[in-house]
Amino acid sequence: MPNTAGIIIIGNEILSGKVQDANSPYLCRELRFLGVELCRIITIPDELEIIAQHVREYSNAYTWVFTSGGIGPTHDDVTIDSVAAAFGHKVILPPRLEALVRSFYGDDTNEAHLRMARMPEGGALIDTPPLQTPLLLVENVFVFPGVPELLKNRFSLLKERFQSDPIHLRQIYLSANEGQIADVLNKTLDTFPELMLGSYPALWNKDYKVRLTLESRSESYLDAAFSHLQARLPQEEIVRVE
């Protein structure tokens, strides 16, 4: 079975449109490249019970869970408490994290700053050198910051641990419209039911009208499906293949 993942984007600012989510598109691309099957993405508000419910549900359903947001110093940063509640853990202030926060803020350190040094008891701190601050892992849940640059930095340093069987990709670009090729696509899936076949119209593209993507974890299966489909498409409508 392939490794699976779920993404939980946390923040009222995302739901209100004040901030645009850049983290889930980034994680989608990276996980696909690594061969991880992303099963679900959800965006939820800064509410402890809602976050805890989805963390618990996702943790039971998928190999890995990635949360983004809600780990800062303000009143609406409730992800740490929520993840702790999801697993029935207490929230603690480990000396290592407290020392990191105090070393950063110095004499200006206050209780709000120390909120960022808390973690659920039983969680693990993953070092991500050269970054000074570690990443929090609780059970199979990776707790990422919401700032896109920080998330990308940390994920890029850890991504090798998520490497799974690769998903192979072939593409066909057509000048035909989807209605002309729908029957061919359906029959191809009848013959190759395990093929991941996507059809994407490009309404304003001057070079082609439809892009077909064929994906499989088996390269030989993909090659056979690709040859089968390509031979049955109207040859004069094929712009290029990749």
User: Are 145 and 212 in contact, with CB atoms under 8 Å apart?
Assistant: no
State the average pLDDT over residues 76-90: 97
Question: CA distances (Å), 163 to each of 2, 64, 159, 186, in order?
Answer: 11, 12, 7, 32
Give alpha helix (H) positions in 94-218.
95-105, 111-114, 148-158, 178-191
- Pick from 124, 123, 131: nearest CA to 152: 131
CATH tag for 4-162 (out of 2.60.40.1510, 3.40.980.10, 3.40.50.300, 3.90.1640.30): 3.40.980.10
How far, rounded to the nearest angstrom, does the alpha carbon of residue 34 sit from its chain's CA centroid? 11
* Residues 145-179 pLDDT 10s: 999 999 999 999 999 999 999 999 999 999 999 99
Beta-strand pair 124-126/135-138: antiparallel
Q: Which pLDDT score, from 0 to 100, does residue 146 have?
A: 97
With cut-offs at 50, 70 and 90, classify the pLDDT of residue 203: confident
* Residues 107-126 pLDDT 10s: 999 999 999 999 999 999 99
CATH tag for 168-241 (out of 3.40.50.1100, 1.10.10.10, 3.30.310.10, 3.30.70.2860): 3.30.70.2860
- Pick from 239, 87, 98, 242: nearest CA to 173: 239
